[in-house]
Amino acid sequence: MSVIQIPSELIELRNAIRDFIDREIRPVEQRYAQELQETGAIAAAEEERKKIRKRSVELGFYTLHMPEELGGGGLSYLGQVLVHEEVARSGLLLAGRGGVVPSVEGPTIILSDCNSDQRKRYLDPLMRAEREMCFALTEPEAGSDATKIHTRAEQKNGVFLLNGRKHFITHGAEADFAVVFAVTDPEKQARGGITAFFVDKGTPGFEVSRIQYTASTVDRPAELTFDNVEVPAENVLGEVGKGFYAAMKWINGGRLNIASSALGIAQHLLDQITSYAKTRVAFGHPIGYYQYIQQYIVDSWCELEASRAMVYEMASRIDDGADGRREAAASKLYATEMVGRVADRAIQVYGGNGFMVETGVERFWREVRAQRLYEGTSEILRNNIAKTLGL
């Protein structure tokens, strides 16, 4: 375990999250057990998550991460890590991806730049889980280097005309509105030339142009297109030209959340393979009797413990005032690389059964592969950390 002393109130919060999941979400997912076993997915997942979000709002979990002045819980980064880890540890499809706590569909620290009118129209409904959003930054030619986006917003006759294309937008098809990042000053680009806009679904010229299919059975990002979309000036989030700076407000928390989810998934898989190794018999012995299986399990345990200690420590440093760029990048890098190895070993421990959808192991193997790509690839994170080390 980490050398960090976890406050008792955070332990109580983690236990409350666990109780909520076991009491109210696990029975719901159990109703879809056959479908999940046969397909690796739940067709009604979004519908069920909407109900879970509402209940999470009632219990005060859904907005824990938001500042108190915006109606949130003001939860520390360490607290957020514990919550996201616990949700992922459940192994439940319905608990994650914006079930118990927000993913991209819910309130984010970026929206602290809302004015009073925008708060009423966008932020407050998100806090109540009455509306859903998506974060539209990535483009076909601007992935890791998000500063090179081409979507333009030109001001004419008191409105902004938005033109461009976004892709890999998680929750893009389901969202009620998008926070869209566009270039308002091509010469300045990210240094004062990118602006964030609220764009409502149904606005003329704004379309979900296609659904993009991934290796995941539950992740269906969307491509969004903007053809002379008229966006009123009152829909600018924050200041004109400051959009990229607003986006960066979220990056530390986002990366820590991914890292903590990696911890939770790794713990879930470790629990699974440890139990399986004790009950699966081969050549007259439980397979945990054999050294190769022991090595897979022990290596996974050691790497998970080391990753957990690191992520907890990095979160605590940010809570204590650290800038957070290196700490969050290191957490995501280390934890997501770790969970990839654990997921691969899990399939190996299960053998042929591990490659079958019905055992529920291969789904995690596919899911965690994407964690090394979004919110900064492992290569970009290494580069960022190197810069903080003076390289």
Count the neighbouring beta carbons within 10 Å of the beta carbon of residue 9: 9
Q: Outline where DSSP puts E strands in the chain.
A: 133-136, 152-156, 159-169, 177-183, 194-200, 206-211, 222-232, 236-237, 281-282, 285-286
CA distance 341 to 344: 5
Pick the closest to residue 111 from 253, 316, 320, 256 (CA basis). Answer: 253
Instruction: Quote the pLDDT of residue 281.
Output: 97
Q: Which amino acid is at 344?
A: D
358: which DSSP letter?
G
pLDDT score of 3 = 65
Q: Could you give the domains of the chain? A: 8-127 (1.10.540.10), 133-237 (2.40.110.10), 245-388 (1.20.140.10)
The single residue listed with the structure tokens 């569909």 is 105
12 part of the active site: no
- Give the span between the Cα atoms of 150 and 153, in whole angstroms: 10
CA–CA separation, 371 and 208 (whole Å)? 24
Q: Give dist(CA 52, CA 126) in Å, integer.
A: 14
Average pLDDT per block of 10 residues along the chain, 391 residues long: 80 98 98 94 95 98 97 97 98 96 95 96 98 95 85 94 96 97 93 96 97 88 97 96 86 95 98 98 97 98 97 96 95 98 98 95 95 94 96 94
Two structure tokens written together for 267:
């713990």
What pTM was estimated for this model as a whole? Answer: 0.95
Q: Which of 24, 130, 375, 379 is catalytic?
A: 375
Q: How far apart are CA 332 and CA 17, in angstroms?
A: 23
- For residues 210 and 177, is the Cβ–Cβ distance under 8 A? no
Q: Hunting for tokens 């969970």 — which residue is that?
A: 339
Closest by CA position to 153, among listed 95, 198, 122, 123: 198
Q: Check if the beta carbon of residue 257 is closer than 8 Å to that of residue 84.
A: yes
What's the pLDDT score for residue 1? 43
